[in-house]
Chains A and B, each alone.
Chain A
Amino acid sequence: QQQVKQSPQSLIVQKGGISIINCAYENTAFDYFPWYQQFPGKGPALLIAIRPDVSEKKEGRFTISFNKSAKQFSLHIMDSQPGDSATYFCAASSRSARQLTFGSGTQLTVLP
């Protein structure tokens, strides 16, 4: 019930391309879905987040798409840049929980 499944494990994209990372969850009580970005040797940092009352949220080149009925959400990175090369984690939490449940991570490489 608490698991968040993330795919793919790794992704290689050409500069200027679209990067897409997918996550699926089981717990219908989840009501907050953030994405974290982690560069080598650093801790993760919040990138963008969404609540289930909207189906899409966009911040610059980063967009979260949310499908409540399918219990899935995804991160789209438009015009991917080499500086976007990092590990991306999806996560989920509920109001009653005091903790985030993280996906297993996606290592993104954007080729110049």
Chain B
Amino acid sequence: NAGVTQTPKFRILKIGQSMTLQCTQDMNHNYMYWYRQDPGMGLKLIYYSVGAGITDKGEVPNGYNVSRSTTEDFPLRLELAAPSQTSVYFCATNRDTNTGELFFGEGSRLTVL
């Protein structure tokens, strides 16, 4: 089992460009999350999904969009990249929110110049 797979691992974008960060899981978990991690700021929730076809905003959703057409995939879309979106992005899954145990991917480092 691969667990949570994120692609790409590294990407450099120019201001105004668009891109999609991919996240795929093979654990059959219903809950999926996108976080961004900035130095000294911890992990901030961007969007989450409780199942296919259902998504909701987290703490910092502006500038991002998501979709969840299948249980396995939860892509994160950046439409007009800005320098403030330079960060490390983590996708995570959870079987049961009562335990809060998240399983993270290895991250995607995005730089916007």
A interface residues (Cβ-Cβ under 8 A, vs B):
6, 9, 32, 34, 36, 41-46, 49, 89, 91, 93, 95, 97-100, 102-105
Contact = CB atoms under 8 A, between A and B. Distances in A.
10 contacts: A9-B40, A43-B92, A43-B106, A49-B99, A98-B31, A100-B45, A100-B100, A102-B42, A104-B40, A105-B40
The A interface is mostly helix, strand or loop, or mixed, namely loop
A31 B30 CA distance: 21
Interface in B18-51: 31, 33, 40-45, 48, 50
Given A32-B98, A43-B105, A102-B43, 14 more contacts: A6-B42, A34-B101, A43-B104, A46-B101, A46-B102, A49-B101, A89-B42, A98-B50, A98-B56, A98-B97, A99-B33, A99-B48, A104-B41, A105-B42
A89 B45 contact: no
